[in-house]
């Protein structure tokens, strides 16, 4: 069988016009590819730099057909592609990633089932479709637990921590009408970790160094690399991710978010079949960035080395941080600023990130902690 390969000079079509697509495109253009984007609005973070824009909804097959007409390979930068478009793309010969991982990662229940079937731990959970089911599930799982919509949630949206039985009615009032739900036991983790894997159309596989992630209000705040974990834990985290990569027959990129508990147990929290916010450190700290690697993987080129060249802390820049970082750039003279070209700097909206590299990660963390830019 010949390997699917799309050489530089050809056109990569990207479904979704957000920052992940933009950063994929910046890498791809550096390598000489042309870029087409499908996105409902013009001027998106990716639209601003793409060679061609198809303006269409994510479930518009005509739009997908237009994208396919101008593209030699199609990839996606987010997982909420309509099932109809995903199925249609399967029928073309330009969609090497396939749609199975889209289907799994769009639905938290399917995701947990698939991860469990691959032999990897997830937090104890139960599906919830009524207040009665919520009460029974909460009784079984015990408190604290966390109620999540099965579809469409991101950055902590569509989820609610429940501390006791007296909060069940309110939680149901808030989320009961948002479709099927899942209740999870809260894991008292000591750290959150993530592993990003790439696998090319030729079957070549590489993992990036494990990231240690700190969230604030359900949104990623920092990734610290190298993660402050033992060699054994690092190995366990990568092995768990590799097992998922193999079970899912990945082509492209898989980000695996994990909880690590004090006793060394790893639970997989969620997966994303694309480059991930917690892999942005690779842009300035690794031999190859996750975006370049993704392009190499879906175009069937040899994968790059993933070695960490220097310690790095990635800090997200949300809407409320943007004016402060622009005023405070001199505080981080050697850091690398990445902004996504979004105009409305709304609170909580991801506007960019700062990669702060340094030989002493603890000193970098202290500098970030004491800076007024990310004050709580």
**Residues 303-342 as x/- pattern, contact with ligand ADP by CB under 6 A:** ----------------------------------------
18 is in an annotated binding site: no
- 53 is an interface residue for ligand ADP by CB under 6 A: no
Contacting residues for 12 by C-beta, under 8 A, at least 6 apart: 6, 24, 25, 28, 33, 34, 35, 36, 71, 72, 73, 74, 75, 295, 298, 299
Among 326, 260, 352, 365, smallest CA distance to 20 is for 352
Minimum separation from the CB atom of position 265 to ligand ADP (A): 13
Member of 59, 155, 234, 331 binding ligand ADP (CB under 6 A): 155
Q: Which is nearer to ligand ADP, 153 or 176 (CB)?
A: 153
CA distances from 202 to 196, 205, 260, 362 (A): 18, 9, 32, 39
Member of 57, 186, 202, 247 binding ligand ADP (CB under 6 A): 186
Instruction: For residue 180, give the H/E element and its range.
Output: none
Q: How many residues bind ligand ADP (CB under 6 A)?
A: 15
**Residues 59-78 as x/- pattern, contact with ligand ADP by CB under 6 A:** --------------------
Instruction: For residue 297, give the H/E element and its range.
Output: helix 290-299
CA distances from 108 to 141, 192, 321, 371 (A): 17, 18, 31, 36
CA distance 201 to 43: 31
Outline where 48-183 has alpha helix (H).
61-70, 83-90, 100-105, 108-117, 131-141, 168-175
**Residues 242-261 as x/- pattern, contact with ligand ADP by CB under 6 A:** ---------------x----
**Residues 108-127 as x/- pattern, contact with ligand ADP by CB under 6 A:** ---------------x----
Member of 19, 222, 223, 269 binding ligand ADP (CB under 6 A): 269
Minimum separation from the CB atom of position 332 to ligand ADP (A): 25
| Interface positions with ligand ADP (CB under 6 A) | 123, 146, 153-156, 184, 186-187, 192, 215, 218, 257, 269-270
Annotated binding site: 108, 148, 153-159, 184-187, 192, 215, 269-270
């Amino acid at each position: 069988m010949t390997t699917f390969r799309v050489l530089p000079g050809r056109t990569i079509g990207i479904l979704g016009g957000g920052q992940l697509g933009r950063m994929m495109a910046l890498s791809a253009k550096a390598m000489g590819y042309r870029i087409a984007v499908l996105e409902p609005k013009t001027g998106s973070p990716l639209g601003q730099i793409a060679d061609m824009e198809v303006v269409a909804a994510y479930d518009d097959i005509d739009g997908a057909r237009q994208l396919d007409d101008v593209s030699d390979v199609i990839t996606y930068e987010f997982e909420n592609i309509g099932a109809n478009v995903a199925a249609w793309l399967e029928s073309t010969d330009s969609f090497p990633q396939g749609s199975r991982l889209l289907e799994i990662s769009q639905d938290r229940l399917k995701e947990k089932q698939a991860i469990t079937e691959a032999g990897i731990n997830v937090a104890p959970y139960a599906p919830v479709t009524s207040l009665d089911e919520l009460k029974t599930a909460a009784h079984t799982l015990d408190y604290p637990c966390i109620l999540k919509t099965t579809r469409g949630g991101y950055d902590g949206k569509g989820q609610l921590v429940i501390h006791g039985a007296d909060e069940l009615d309110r939680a149901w009032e808030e989320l009961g009408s948002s479709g099927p739900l899942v209740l999870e036991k809260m894991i008292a983790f000591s750290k959150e970790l993530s592993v990003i894997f790439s696998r090319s159309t030729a079957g070549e596989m590489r993992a990036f160094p494990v990231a240690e992630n700190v969230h604030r209000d359900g949104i990623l705040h920092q990734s610290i690399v190298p993660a402050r974990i033992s060699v054994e834990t690092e190995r366990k985290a990568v092995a768990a991710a590799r097992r998922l990569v193999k079970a899912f027959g990945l082509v492209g990129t898989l980000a695996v978010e994990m909880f690590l508990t004090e006793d060394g147990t790893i639970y997989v929290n969620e997966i994303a079949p694309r480059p991930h916010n917690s892999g942005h450190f690779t842009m300035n700290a690794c031999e190859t960035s996750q975006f370049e690697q993704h392009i190499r993987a879906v175009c069937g080129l040899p994968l790059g080395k993933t070695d960490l060249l220097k310690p790095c802390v990635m800090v997200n820049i949300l809407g409320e941080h943007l004016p402060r970082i622009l005023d405070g750039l001199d505080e981080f003279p050697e850091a690398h600023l990445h902004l996504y070209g979004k105009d409305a700097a709304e609170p909580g909206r991801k506007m960019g990130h700062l990669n702060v590299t340094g030989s002493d990660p603890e000193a970098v963390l202290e500098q970030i902690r004491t800076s007024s830019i990310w004050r709580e």
